[in-house]
Structure 1
Amino acid sequence: MKRKGKRKMLIAIIILLVVVVVGLGGALFFTAGERREARNLPIGHVNFKQLHDGTYLGKYEGGMYKWRANKVQVTVSSSKVTDIKLIEHTEKQPTGITDELFSRVIQSQSLQVDTISGATLTSKAYLKAIEEALEVAQE
């Protein structure tokens, strides 16, 4: 009797593992397009020397599933980016990630900064919104 119970338990565990593996594989397959799109998102070269003073809004729609949609407010003073605020976002990233990324942009006066490790795709989405705001600041 004990042997029969162990065999049923083993079969149940194997079935559970198969379901988990198939589920994870399906999730990776389902999200592959979104991750590929975000990874290949081009960040343009904005000429920071041609920025006009003011406060500008920029947004990024978030890709095919809108997972990384965000809106930023960028302040330009004395032709330099002096502040960036995240106004709206769909990602649940800790504020330290956005603070670090925005600090990099302000310090370098460039969008060509290193993304935040572990939040690369979200970083690129935020940079895209900043780019949109700064394109208006150049006009």
Structure 2
Amino acid sequence: MINVKNILIIVICILILCGGVYGIKYFMDVKQYKEAIKEIKIADVDLSKIKDGNYPGEFETSFIGAEVNVKVEKHKIVDIELVKHKNERGKKAEIIPEEVVQAQSLQVDTVSGATNSSKVILKAIENALKSADKIKQ
């Protein structure tokens, strides 16, 4: 007959095994996330090729994501709505759309302390503008 001590040892071993598997998966996800962030390159988009309209864009990594709607009128960005921003500590980066509108360029400084969120938001805006550029004019 199995006693309580043996059952407790088995349960503890199962918990340790599950924790180890979860820990390994988490560290692999973090590594993949860091590599994805490092590889983000923000290209400038030629606004003279963009027709008037509203263009959705998004970009997502393991831990951070952004969804935007970019409004273009007369080859100028007039508004960027940040529809969704999945972030950890990157709330400060939510000023990026306003800075892009002011600069009329994606080449704006990232927000200190929210660099990763800044890059993800900029990439979502770039994706919106690139999708607009592909629409037949």
User: Given the two structures, how large is their TM-score scaled by the length of structure 2?
Assistant: 0.70
What's the counterpart of residue 20 of structure 1? none
Per-residue deviation at 1:104? 1.6
Once residues 107 and 133 of structure 1 are traced to their aligned partners in structure 2, the CA distance between those partners, rounded to angstroms, is: 17
Cα root mean square deviation, aligned: 2.1
Residues 41-120 of structure 1 aligned to structure 2 (within 5 Å): 41-60=40-59, 62-63=60-61, 65=62, 67-92=63-88, 93-94=90-91, 97-99=93-95, 101-120=96-115
What are the ranges of 5 or more consecutive residues in structure 2 without an aligned counterpart? 1-23
1:53 deviates by 0.6
1:125 counterpart = 2:120: yes
Which position in structure 1 is the counterpart of 2:21?
Answer: none
Query: What is the percentage of aligned positions where both structures have the same residue?
Result: 35
SS at match of 1:110: coil
Gaps of 5+ in 1: 1-25
CA contact (8 A) 1:50 1:79 kept: yes
- Structure 1 position 97, deviation (Å): 3.0
CA distance, structure 2, for counterparts of residue 73 and residue 86 of structure 1:
7
1:32, CA displacement in angstroms? 3.3
Q: Find the aligned partners of 2:98 and 2:84 in 1 and give their Cα distance.
A: 18
**TM-fit CA distance, 1:35:** 2.0
Give CA-to-partner distance per residue, 1:14-38, whole Å, 9 cap, x none: xxxxxxxxxxxx8x95523312321
| 4+ residue runs over 6 A deviation | none
